[in-house]
């Protein structure tokens, strides 16, 4: 006989992390950061056909201080990288980053000195969305997967430990330039 059976109907048992995660996932406020052709698909996903408002994302914020999700849509040039980092630093905690398109994820077809080969060299990325350009359905699917990550994220000191573990594993990883020619 569990505790649930002794409680009157209509009583819900959960944790503070569970409630906070549910509230945070249902109220993403994305920042507008469209850099190339992927931005057209990002704008389309906010239109009436795909309607991101169903997921609590009615308005794309123009101010980073009002946003908690940065969707980097398109290629990032070396000149734009410091601006991208500044906008990321101005966003309030907790904040998440979605790299939209192959150019934002890995530089895409632009393998030259002017384009950053992956936005994760500039800001930490929580979700990668491949495609050239990815369809609005793919963006919505990636956002829903990010919702799941956010809902199950830890809070307070547990979150700090989780971040430190992720940073430690990232520092131990081989640079992509060292992975050329390796078979795994």
In contact, 75 and 104? CB cutoff 8 Å:
yes
- What SS3 string covers the chain? CCHHHHCCCCCCCCCHHHHHHHHHHCCCCEECCECCCHHHHHHHHCCCCCCHHHHCCCCCECCHHHCCEEEEECCCECCCHHHHHHHHHHCCCCCEEEEECHHHHHCCCCCCCCECCCHHHCCCCCEEECCCCCCHHHHHHHHHHHHHHHHCCCCHHHHHHHHHHHHHHHHHCCCHHHHCCCCC
81 marked among binding-site residues: no
Interval 102-136: pLDDT, tens:
888 888 888 888 888 888 888 888 899 988 888 98
76 marked among binding-site residues: no
Compare 129 and 11 and report the one with higher pLDDT: 129
Q: What angle do the packed helices 136-151 and 16-25 form, to 10 degrees?
A: 160
Best CA proximity match to 64, nearest among 31, 99, 33: 31
CA angle, 106 as apex, 100 and 112 as ends, to 5°? 125
103 marked among binding-site residues: yes
Q: Phi/psi at 128 (nearest 5 deg)?
A: -105, 135
Interval 28-38: pLDDT, tens:
888 877 888 88
61 marked among binding-site residues: no
Give the pLDDT confidence score for residue 27 in this predicted structure. 79
Q: Is-above-0.85 flag for pTM? A: no
Per-residue confidence band for 154, with pLDDT thresholds at 50, 70 and 90: confident
Interval 49-90: pLDDT, tens:
888 888 877 778 888 888 888 999 888 888 998 998 899 889
């Amino acid at each position: 006989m569990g505790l649930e059976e002794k409680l009157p109907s209509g009583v819900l048992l959960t944790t503070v992390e569970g409630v906070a995660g549910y509230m945070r996932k249902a109220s993403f406020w994305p920042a507008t950061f469209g850099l190339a052709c992927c931005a057209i698909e990002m704008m389309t996903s906010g239109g009436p056909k795909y309607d991101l408002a169903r997921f609590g994302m009615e308005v794309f914020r123009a101010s980073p201080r009002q946003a908690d999700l940065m969707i980097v849509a398109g290629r990032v040039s070396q000149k734009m990288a410091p601006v991208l980092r500044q906008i990321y630093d101005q966003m309030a905690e907790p904040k998440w980053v979605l790299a939209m398109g192959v150019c934002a994820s890995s530089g895409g077809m632009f393998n030259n000195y002017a384009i950053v080969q992956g936005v994760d060299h500039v800001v930490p990325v929580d979700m990668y969305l491949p495609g050239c350009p990815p369809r609005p359905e793919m963006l919505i699917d990636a956002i829903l997967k990010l919702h799941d990550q956010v809902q199950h994220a830890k809070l307070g000191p547990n979150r700090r430990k989780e971040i430190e573990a992720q940073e430690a594993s990232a520092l131990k990883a081989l640079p992509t330039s060292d992975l050329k020619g390796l078979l795994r």
